[in-house]
Structure formats: C-alpha cells, structure tokens
Structure 1
Amino acid sequence: MKKTYLYTFAFFITSSVLISCKSKNGASEKTGLEYNKQENGGFQVNNKFRRGPGPGLVEIEGGVFVMSGSAINMPGEELANYNHKRETTVSSFYMDETEVSNRDWLEYLHAIRRNYPTDYEYYYNELPDTLVWRRPLSYNEPYVDNYLRHPAYQDYPVVGVSWEQATRFCEWRTDVVNESLLRSQNIMASYKEVNGDGKRPKQATANATPRPAGQFNTDMYLNGQYDDKGKNAPRDLTPNATAATGAAAQKGGPRRTVRLEDGILKQPYRLPTEAEWEYAALGLIGNTQYENINNNKIYPWDGLGISSAKSKTRGLILANFKRTKGDYMGVGGSLNDKGSITVSVHAYVPNDFGLYNMAGNVNEWVNDVYRTNTFEAADALNPYRGNYYMDKQVADPATGKLAKDKYNRPVMTAAVSAKKQTWAQKQAADSAAKVNTYADQRGYRDRDNQLYGEITLVNDKSRVYKGGSWDDQAMWLNPASRRFLQQDEATADIGFRCAMTMLGASEISPYGKPQFKPKKQKPFNARRQ
C-alpha cells in the first residue's frame, strides 16, 4: 500500500513537471494562442507576478468594522470630534510601519538639492516650518534650530509639515522606489553605470549612460518617455521590432521599457484615507476569530487603560501623550512615557498589525477633506471625501506623449467627464475649455456645503488629522477621534505616514484556511483539433 502511494505520488510530480514544461508560457483560454511568443504576435503576460509591499510598508488585511465604533463620549465632549457611526468595509492595503522621520525628510531634501541644485525655491518650499516650536511663554528655541537636523532627533517623527508637503513627499517617494527597482535589477542602467562607483568620477565616454536630468517620474516612464534600457530590460516580442545598434546593442534581441502589465513597479505612495487609518489603528484582527470580534478596543491596544498590565512593564504608559495639563513625561528618576516632546518612531509596542505609534507621539495627516458628518453620507466600501479627479494632459495626440513640467511630472488638468469620451470628443479643441463641474467632488452629497467657508472655519481645504500627540491628553488617543486643519498649515504635533493600495486578492494569506478548489479546465491545444 505504501509503495503504491509512492508510485502514484511520483507519477503525479512527473506529470506536473511535463505539463508545466509544455505550457510554461501559458495560453489564452479564449483564443488558444500561446502567450509570450513572437510568432503568435508577441502578446506578453507575466505568469510569475508576486505582489508585495514597497519599502517601509506592512500588509493590512481589510474587512468590515464600525467606523467610530470605538468612540466613547466624555462629559462635555463635542460630538463633532467623531464621525457618524456606521458599518464600513475597508479593502486590504499597505501602510507605513512607522511615522515618517526627520531622517526620511532630510533624504527628501537631499534629493531635491541633488536633482535641482539651483532651484532654491523648490528646496525652500519643502523645508518644514521649524518655527512651529516657538511659543511666547515657552523656551523651545533649541528645537527650532536642532529638531529637524541634529542626529539626536533623526529617528523622531518629522513635524512642521503641511498636508500639501506630505502629499508631495509621497509622490517623490513613489518615483524614488520605482527608479530603484528598475536600476537595481538592471532594467534601466544601474546606478553605478550612471553615477560611477564612488571610487572615481564617472568617465565621459562614448558608451556612457547619461542620467536623465532631474527626478525620475513613474508616469512619464510608463508612458514610454524614458529611453533607458538596461541589460535586463524585458524583451520586445513584437514582430519586426528593431534591435538597438552600436554601443546600445543588447544580447537577446530588441528590448523595451517596463509596462504596467509587467507588475514590476509599485503603486503610488499616498496618505491613507481616514477609514483606512482608523481601521489600521484599531487592529481588530488580533481580537477576531471566525468572523467574531471577541472584544472591541478604545485604543490601539487591548483593555480600557493607558498603561501596561504585563508584569515586567506594569504601569508603563503605552503611548507618548500628556497625562495631565502639566505632566508630559512622568517623574524624574522613573520617567513614564519618557518623552517631554516626541520620541522615536519605533518607541513602544506595535499594535496587532505591527504599526508603531498609532496613538500618541504625533497626530497624523490623512487624505480626507473634513466634514462633521462625512460617513453619514459616504459609501460603505472604502469611504472617502476629497476626490478631485484629474487627467494627464496630452502634449501630442499623434504619439500620446504627455506634457510635463520642469520637474518631469505630468501636467494635470481637471477631468471633464464622468465617462469615457468618444475619440471625436477627446480631440475636440474646445473640450479643455468646458466648465469642469464634474472634477471637484469634495462637497458631494454635502447637506451644509453652502455654509462651509462662509460662516464656519471648515472648507474644501480643511484636512483631517488623527491619533493624538505628545501635546494631547488621552481622549485624543482614541482612533475614532478627529480634528482638522487647513492643508497648507503645520504644527509641532502633526506628522504623517504613507499608505499604498494593494492590488489583487483581499486575502493576504490563504494558508491554513478553508478554500474552494474549482476544477481547472484543460488548456486548448490547436494541434488536437
């Protein structure tokens, strides 16, 4: 019986290998044509795609939760501090393990100075406002001069950055990560080829690969506006594709740039939505079994208290916040939260998603435009208020080339239609001159929008921030709490972290869980017909 099992198993393995070898490229279920074959037209499919987070991110498996369900109204507390409670579903996504630190921001500033050495305005505009530390009745001048740049604070969260600056950092980070992926795999010329090896200056020779001026841009690259193909660039299987000649000639025939269909480039880094942030902060995945949430949370950790119940750390505060109106860190000789201002972005214990400081340290910008009752009207799946739909401006309709600004970024224009236009409409000379009433959806289904910006401080540039900070008391540590600030303003207690959309299946790990196993149809073989 044992031998029979072994023979059967061996036959199964051998058959699987033969089948996989026979159809290693895969074939269309609808036409029968094999993929990745030049003789079949050169349609290319990545059969080996494996998704994964970008640098610094962790996986957040989405699901249903009650938005603002953790809120506990204290006596005298304004209801505007919370959203309308509503059952909401958040799709799976990626999120930064920590807040963005001063070291991260200095890397951003260094890249600006390296790529645009004479653009002092660009550099100045991205400098955090260190004057946020100044207060008329406090001696905070050392923080003004040292907090951003001194190595003592390099692992502390960056502050003094506006929502607008944080958004631009996300855009820059996207491009740096994607350029690094392409150059490290020699899909584009390697950094060593374009910058030298550090031991000696790069020699200007006929075979030298010049580094394009300015910052790499993912959108422009995907649109075919970078002619930089390294030795591992994908083969171009299009019939009659022309191979490069001379110094640019490569082995294996013609090469092409990476496409979105190849699955190599990462999705854009961005600020998380308010729903994503609150869901990730709660970390209910640690309290869930078989779709049952055993107990809810009012903080990112279990229990009703704000201090550790474990024997070795009993009594230690679990976040960096202000315990009373004058107690910022505890008693000398036995400091509690150990931070008079901010602390390291890796301080304290992460929540059940592995995220640090989702309560306290610094408040964090999220993507949403603020309204008091956003989620009373918002969609139940991935709720968000703040959409302003934009299109990339085409510079040459004949070639599809995009218009770009002086920083190599696509020129964006307000979207003019909620549906795909006909070719004739798209080419119409007056299409760009239409009134763009469709693009701005920030006030959609907003009952009181006629009042915003008129008799209240709330307007379409008011952005939500959440999480509580070193300068806040415990009520603001609740993930449901929310406040707002103008998107061009900054404070000493607001920082941020980035998120990224997760593509594909919502389930992160199917192992050990019941799964349906549909029967796979045998592939079409034209020779047998």
Structure 2
Amino acid sequence: MNLKNLFILLSCTAAVSSCKNGGLFGKKQEKSDVTGWNYNDKNMGGYQVSREKEQRTGPGLVFVQGGTFQMGAVEEDVMGDWNNIPSRKTVNSFYIDRTEVANIHYREYLYWINNVFDADEYKAVREGALPDTLVWRSELGYNEPMVEYYFRHPSYNYYPVVGVTWRQAHDFCLWRSDRVNEKALLDKGFVNKNSFKNISGQGAESFNTKAYLLGLTTPTPGNSVRSKKNPLKNPNGTPRTTVTFEDGILLPSYRLPTEAEWEYAALALVGQNPSPSKKEGKRGEELITNKQVYSWSQNVNGLRDNRRGSWQGTFLANFKRGNGDNMGVAGGLNDRAVYTAPVNSFFPNAFGLYNMAGNVNEWVEDVYRPLSSVDQDDVAPFRGNYFQNDAKNKDGEFEKDSLGRVKRVYVTDEESKGRRNYQKGNVINYLDGDSLVSGVTYGTTDPAENLKNGGRGYGFTTLISDKSRVIKGGSWNDRPYYLSPGTRRFLEEDQGSSTVGFRCAMDRVGSPEGNGRKTGIDYPQRRQNTRKR
C-alpha cells in the first residue's frame, strides 16, 4: 500500500469513528449542562431535544421586531373626546399579516367549512361563518352591485373581506392555525397525504392542533415517519410517529393583533432609525427621530424618496378627501378606488405592511374602553382577558366539542382568589374607570344585569359594553384624521361593516431581534487567574 492510499484509509477510519462518537467531523453529542447526560441518546434515557432552534415565519406573515413607543393620540380628537392619552408602552416582537385578509382567503375558509361540516346538524356553523353582504346597503345610495358581487366575483378576489364580525374574524384565526399546522405535519411526512383527497364530512374528526397534541386527534401517519431518517425518536431510539410542541415543528396560533401591537406595527418606527441593526453583534441607534402622524412616514415631511419626483403628490392610502371625494376626477383619479382597493395596493410602511392606513378599518383583539394613563401594563398592554383552562370530564380526561376543538372552561373567581397576580377569572372590567373611581358604569352583555344595576348599563348611559371591540386604521370612507395609528373607535363584536376588515397576527418565541440573533448582550469571558498566591 502506498503512502497516499494509507492516508485515505486513515481519513475514512477517522470519519467513521467520529460518526459513532456523536456526529460527522467529530461533532460532539449535545448534553445537559446540569446533569452531564447526553440528549437524544437511547443509551442515556432517550431524552429528546429538538433540532429545530428557530421559529419559522408562517404563511402571509411579516416579522415585527418589538420595542418601545408612545401609544395614543397625536392630534386633538375631532369629537372632542380625549380618551386616548399618550403613554409610553413596550411591545414584544411578533408576526403580523403583510396584508388584510382578502375575499379569496375568506372564501377558502368557507369552502373548508362547507365540506367538513356538511351534515344537517352543522347548518348553523356554515351559516354563522358567512359575511354579511348587506352591510353595503344604504337608504340613500345605490350599492346593490356591491351586495351582489363584491364578495363572490373574481374581480374582487384580492380586495379585503368586509362584513365580518369580530367573532367571525376570531374563528378564522383558529381555522387558519389548524390548517397551517396540519400542512407542516404533511410536509414533514407525519400525516398521510392521501387523507386530504376527501375532506367531506370529517366534522369533529377534522384536525385541531391542541386536540392533536393532547392525543384526541390521531391523523393517519405518513409513510416516512417509520423511516430511519425520521429525526424524531422514542426513548428506545425507534422512529416516533407523533409530534409534540417541543419538537419545534408546529407554530403558535394565529390570532387578532392587540391594539398596542397593531398601532406599533402601523407606525413602523424602525424606518426612522438612522442605522438599524444589520448583523449579529451590531446595534442601531436607540432613537426615535420624529413624531409620526401616519403609518407611511419616514422623515419629518412624511414623504417617500422623491429624488426623481415620481411619488410627489400621489396618494399613499385609500381614504376620502375633503367632503365627499372618494376617487377624484375622471382622467386623473387620485386613489383609483371608490370603495376598497386590493390588499397589496399603495405603498407599504417600513415593516413592509400594506394598508395600515385607509382601505378598511381593522379589528383588533382588545375590548374597548376609554383609556386613562394607568389602566394598562407597560409591557404588552391588553384589555380583554377572560382566562380559560382546558376542560376535563369526571374521569380527568380532556374532551373535544362538536367542532373537534378541545373543550374550554372559564376560570372561576374561586380558583383565582388565592393568587397574587390576579384574583378574578374575568378581568375585562378591571380598572376601567368604574363607578368607585369615576361614577361611570359600563354595560354588561346581560340585559338583566344592567337592570339590576339601576338601568345604568348598555343602552342607558353608554354605548360601550363588554362586547365592544376596538377598530383601527381608518377606511375608504374616512377622512385623514382616522388614518393615524393613534386614533381608535369601536364596534360591537357581533356586528359587521362595509368599512371594517381584519388581518391576523402570531406570537414570536425566542430572540426578540429575530432568527439567528441572541437574547441579551454577551461580553467576552475573561480567563480566571489560577496562579497560587
């Protein structure tokens, strides 16, 4: 054997040895810092640690890096109702839809519901998901073409869906979460692709993420899950056929954004940062250079790059100019939309989000209350918590409801009274300017309760109830004031409007700066001086 062949043989032997010892090229087996036991090692208990280290971005979403901002009104309220006092808030990083949900997306939702829940007992479910197309009607306007065609005609496929209540938008988010996670399992081979050829009549057996994680839903496994290439293993080293949330394959749920998240994303103050972070270890300036009125502002004048003059004088949003001008003059239309416009039209803001001003108002998660300076947390402010737990039957087992979702129950005051951080399950009305403080009583969702309170509830002293939800952003039929991210209005959660649509959001887990970035600041470690003194 010559010297060259001997070198090749020794190299191959070393490579094989390194694979046996934990990985190619001598990669060490990952192990616990607290016990020293190996992870993913069947000879050391088989404790599995995910190889997925980062959260992938779900379909349609844009990553929004969180931060601090001044939440609230920036102009005097046109109604003289100063109920949105500016205050300093901090928002966690999160994801939000690049565009508003369009007609074609909502029709996809209806298609799925009509097929999966096609039995007679689900008639209310099918009808309950339909948007209210009658929202286009007006006593003194000819809008019947919009009633008949806007939601169904392909010309309007990518126009924002309207006539959707807060409750319907909320349910759409639940459906979207399950479809995205179901496809993630399909792509990884953990669900048999043939099971999607006919979804008719599945009903309560349809896929639900939480029911799957609790073992209440067991879709047919794909062929690849029993392969040796399957990265998920049982403690004995055999391929695992089901996925846990700890594996990093499933995404958090889609949901409606909170009011603070929506307002922060609309402002997109990242566009004002003179030197935003480009790579790990570098940090931009901690600076907000200008007070911003609209979502597209990137300099003190609120104008885009005008070096060639191409955008000078053009509309950056779909709204009503002056008194009654919704489109402009023939031959020179200003925003080219008499009603709504496609969801990806007009210029995106610095986060790459479209129509955060104008087109349609958007539902957010929050229950509406006139704000004071002390009624929200500094970090991740939100009003609308009514805490829930997964329900168990008398045998201590989780159960599904008729739609295939895990049954939920509201947390009682009895369960909460011993806690330090909250003492009630329903905290929607917590510190909302109640009668003890301001003499104001907000209505409940129960008319009988309002009568017990001396008739001071919804319909007597205020239009605000626990069913009032915040809408943000302004619409095609609003004047510029309502396009500012700081303005806010409300609508009952069971009502729709021709000027209200929505977009979805998702929690961000891991580093607030994004994938591939660290949390906290690392400093070089100094070697300890071990010399004897």
How far off its partner does 1:438 sit? 1.9
Q: Distance in 2 between matches of 1:392 and 1:312?
A: 56
Alignment of 1:184-263 (within 5 A): 184-190=187-193, 193-196=194-197, 214-228=205-219, 229-233=221-225, 235-239=232-236, 253-263=238-248
Q: Which amino acid aligns with 2:104?
A: R
Would you say the 8 A contact 1:360–1:470 is kept in 2? yes
Relative to 1, partners in 2 of residues 1:510 and 1:407: Cα closer, same or farther, differing over 3 Å?
A: closer
The yes-or-no answer on 1:292 pairing with 2:261 is no
Relative to 1, partners in 2 of residues 1:261 and 1:195: Cα closer, same or farther, differing over 3 Å?
A: closer
- Pick the aligned partner of 2:403 from 400, 407, 414: 407
Aligned to 1:86: 87
How far off its partner does 1:156 sit? 0.3
Q: Which amino acid aligns with 1:226?
A: T
Q: Distance in 1 between matches of 2:259 and 2:104?
A: 26
Relative to 1, partners in 2 of residues 1:195 and 1:261: Cα closer, same or farther, differing over 3 Å?
A: closer
Q: Which amino acid aligns with 1:130?
A: T
Q: Distance in 1 between matches of 2:263 and 2:59?
A: 22
Question: With structure 2 as the length reference, what TM-score do the two structures score?
Answer: 0.81
Alignment of 1:337-352 (within 5 A): 337-352=335-350
Question: With structure 1 as the length reference, what TM-score do the two structures score?
Answer: 0.81
Bigger mean CA deviation after superposition, 442-451 or 164-173: 442-451
Relative to 1, partners in 2 of residues 1:305 and 1:517: Cα closer, same or farther, differing over 3 Å?
A: closer
Q: Distance in 1 between matches of 2:373 and 2:341?
A: 33
Would you say the 8 A contact 2:416–2:424 is kept in 1? no
Alignment of 1:446-457 (within 5 A): 446-448=432-434, 451-453=441-443, 454=457, 455-457=461-463
> For 1:293, what is the secondary structure of its paired residue?
coil
Aligned to 1:111: 112
The superposition leaves residues 204-248 of structure 1 with CA deviations (integer Å, 9 ceiling, x where unpaired) of xxxxxx988643100000112233332344644234xxxxxxxxx
Q: Which amino acid aligns with 1:31?
A: T
How far off its partner does 1:78 sit? 2.2
Would you say the 8 A contact 1:323–1:473 is kept in 2? yes
The superposition leaves residues 15-65 of structure 1 with CA deviations (integer Å, 9 ceiling, x where unpaired) of x99996555541011111101112222210013322122100000000011
The yes-or-no answer on 1:97 pairing with 2:89 is no
Aligned to 1:499: 505
Would you say the 8 A contact 2:359–2:475 is kept in 1? yes
Would you say the 8 A contact 2:340–2:359 is kept in 1? yes
How far off its partner does 1:406 sit? 1.1
How far off its partner does 1:514 sit? 11
Would you say the 8 A contact 1:115–1:214 is kept in 2? no
The yes-or-no answer on 1:370 pairing with 2:376 is no
Number of residue pairs the alignment of both structures matches: 464
Aligned to 1:244: none
Alignment of 1:23-172 (within 5 A): 24-68=28-72, 71-73=74-76, 77-80=79-82, 83-118=84-119, 119-172=122-175
Q: Distance in 1 between matches of 2:518 and 2:434?
A: 49
Q: Distance in 2 between matches of 1:517 and 1:500?
A: 32
Bigger mean CA deviation after superposition, 307-316 or 319-328: 307-316
Q: Distance in 2 between matches of 1:340 and 1:308?
A: 24
How far off its partner does 1:456 sit? 0.6
How far off its partner does 1:325 sit? 1.9
> For 1:108, what is the secondary structure of its paired residue?
helix
| Sequence identity percentage | 41
Relative to 1, partners in 2 of residues 1:185 and 1:458: Cα closer, same or farther, differing over 3 Å?
A: same
Q: Which amino acid aligns with 2:251?
A: K
The yes-or-no answer on 1:315 pairing with 2:313 is yes
How far off its partner does 1:183 sit? 1.0
> For 2:310, what is the secondary structure of its paired residue?
helix
The superposition leaves residues 455-505 of structure 1 with CA deviations (integer Å, 9 ceiling, x where unpaired) of 111111110000000010000000000001111011100000000000011
Root mean square deviation, CA, Å:
3.0
Q: Distance in 1 between matches of 2:172 and 2:518?
A: 39
Q: Distance in 1 between matches of 2:44 and 2:415?
A: 34
Q: Which amino acid aligns with 2:111?
A: H
Q: Which amino acid aligns with 1:221?
A: Y
Aligned to 1:330: 328
> For 2:374, what is the secondary structure of its paired residue?
helix
Relative to 1, partners in 2 of residues 1:482 and 1:457: Cα closer, same or farther, differing over 3 Å?
A: same
Relative to 1, partners in 2 of residues 1:360 and 1:78: Cα closer, same or farther, differing over 3 Å?
A: same
Q: Distance in 1 between matches of 2:498 and 2:178?
A: 28
